[in-house]
Amino acid sequence: MQYEHKYLDGSSCPYPAGKVVCVGRNYFEHIKELNNAVPDEPILFMKPSTSLRTLEDGIELPDYSQNCHNETELAILFGKEVRKADASAVEDAIDSYAIALDLTLRDIQQKLKDNGYPWEAAKAFDGACPISPFIKKEGIADPQDTMLKLTVNGEVRQQESTKLMITKILDLIVYASQRFTFLPGDIFLTGTPAGVAQLVSGDQLELELEDKYTFKTFVK
C-alpha cells in the first residue's frame, strides 16, 4: 500500500508525502557511542518519499545487510514552503509532529564512510523511515523539551529529551532552508539520542513521544 501522511485522529493529511531531510550526530552521547567526531555544523542527508512507511506496516530488513540499527527521532511535517527562512517563518510552517525511526544499515554505512562515499545506500532504502501518525502542533507542549523513548522486546533501548540536541530544532531548519527548499508534505528528522542497536526479525518495538503518545511496530 502506498504511504500517505495521516493525523493521529485518523483524518487525512492534505499534503503529499515528500522528501525526508535528516540530521546526523545531533546528540553528544550518540556521537560518543559510535566513536564519531563532533561536527562543526549540522550534517544533512535525505531519504526519498519511498522510504516512508507507517509503523503499523512493520519493518522489513533488507537482505543485503546484516546489521540494521534503530534510530528514534522527533519528526516534523511542513504545511508551508520553507526557503531561506528565519526562525519565525520556520515555526509558522510547521504543521505537526511525529516519532519516526531513521533505520540505518550500519554495516553498509561503515563501508561507505571508510571509502568517503555518500550514505544513501544505508539510509534511503525502501521502508527506511517508519513513522507514526502526525500530532498537530497543539498536541506537543514543547517540541524542544519532549521525551523520546524506544522499547524493544520490553527493554528500554533509547530514552532522551530533545532538549539535549546539539543544534536546536528551529536553528536546524533555518540552516537547512538556506541550502534547499522544503515543500508542504516534506519531513525533517531531528537526530537520534544514544541507544542505537541492531534490530532482528521478530523484535517488538514500542515508541513513545512526550510520555503521552505510544505507538507499536515490529520487525518482520
pLDDT at 209 over 90: yes
What single-letter amino acid sits at 93? Answer: A
Q: What is the reported pLDDT for 163?
A: 97
Q: What would the mean pLDDT of 113-118 be, rounded to a whole number?
A: 93
Asked whether 152 and 207 are in contact (CB, 8 A), the reply is no
Angle at the Cα of 200 from the Cα atoms of 197 and 202, rounded to 5 degrees: 130
Residue-wise pLDDT tens digits, 153-176: 999 999 999 999 999 999 999 999
Reading the block at residue 108, the C-alpha cell is 553498509
Q: What is the reported pLDDT for 1?
A: 66
CA separation (Å) from 43 to 22, 40, 126, 220? Answer: 8, 9, 22, 31
| Radius of gyration in angstroms for the set of CA atoms belonging to the chain, rounded to a whole number | 16
Q: Which domains does the chain have, with CATH numbers?
A: 20-145+159-200 (3.90.850.10)
Confidence of residue 90 (pLDDT cuts 50, 70, 90): very high
